[in-house]
Amino acid sequence: MVREDGKVFVRYQSRRGLRSEFWTDPETFQKIKLDENEASRRYRDELKLKTSKEKRKEYHANWASENHEKISDKRRKYRLENKEKLKEYAKAWRRANPEKVKAYSEKWETKVGKYQSRNRPEINKRRKQWVENGGHLRKITLNTRSRIHYALKKNKKLGSESYLGCSYEELKNHIESCFIDGMSWDNYGSRGWHIDHRVPISSALTLEALIPLLHFSNLQPLWWIDNLKKGSKVC
């Protein structure tokens, strides 16, 4: 719509409750229309992108659900092939983010504490079942096997029992025979007692010197605080 004076109608506008007509010259009118078209185009593009993102997100979620085992195997393989690399990355990240590590630890301890206080009867029930099903033997087996594997690293050629010089059942009996007052399998762990090497395996400078230190006769139960104080000393 063009008036006699050459002004072009743009739109109706409202100011302070009063409706009026907005007219301008043809050149300004073209600029306004171009700006409106550009704004409209950007809005349509953003809407299209948002819809596209939602569709892609839904597709990837469905694909991940259908290929859970495949993804897990791939991640497991990557972790095994890049164990040292991931370990160094994790150490570097913890050194660079001490506050985040501290906050996460506090959050985790609070969460665990709340869960334990709310579910104490169920936890005690499961723990009793675990012990009845040979849980302590499994724990000492896994821990000892892990220590031997870590000590020997790539030089491990025999089964762990061969280095121990006894079966895990015999090892359990040996540890029990060394218990002092207050020790039981119920307080075996981080804030109870540890399985300690009388002569520290870190004192061995060669593989030949290390292997005798893995023998069960070099193992003893030691309260966790005493184990920390002992460090690499012979006890």
pLDDT digits (tens, 9 = 90+) for 153-170: 656 666 777 888 888 888
**Which pLDDT score is estimated for 192?**
87
CA dihedral 111→113→118→119, nearest 10 degrees, is 100
First to last CA, the chain: 101
Separation between Cα atoms, residue 197 and residue 166, nearest integer Å: 16
Confidence of residue 65 (pLDDT cuts 50, 70, 90): confident
Which residues lie closer than 8 Å to 123 by C-beta, 6 or more apart?
Answer: 116
Q: Which of 218, 223, 183 is nearest to 198 (CA)?
A: 218
What residue segments make up the domains of the chain, in order of their start? 8-12+21-68, 119-230
Which residues lie closer than 8 Å to 14 by C-beta, 6 or more apart?
Answer: 20
SS3 (DSSP) at 4: coil
> Exposed/middle/buried for 165, CB within 10 Å: 0-12, 13-18, 19+?
middle
**Which pLDDT score is estimated for 114?**
80
Q: Is the pTM of this model over 0.75?
A: no
One-letter amino acid identity for 134? G
**Which pLDDT score is estimated for 141?**
66
Q: What percent of the chain has pLDDT over 70?
A: 87
| pLDDT-wise least confident of 11-25, 57-71, 132-146, 201-215 | 132-146
Q: Is the pLDDT of residue 232 over 60?
A: yes
The answer to whether residues 137 and 172 touch, using CB atoms and an 8 Å cutoff, is yes
Separation between Cα atoms, residue 148 and residue 161, nearest integer Å: 10
Which residues lie closer than 8 Å to 215 by C-beta, 6 or more apart?
Answer: 163, 164, 165
Q: Which of 28, 26, 24 is nearest to 13 (CA)?
A: 24
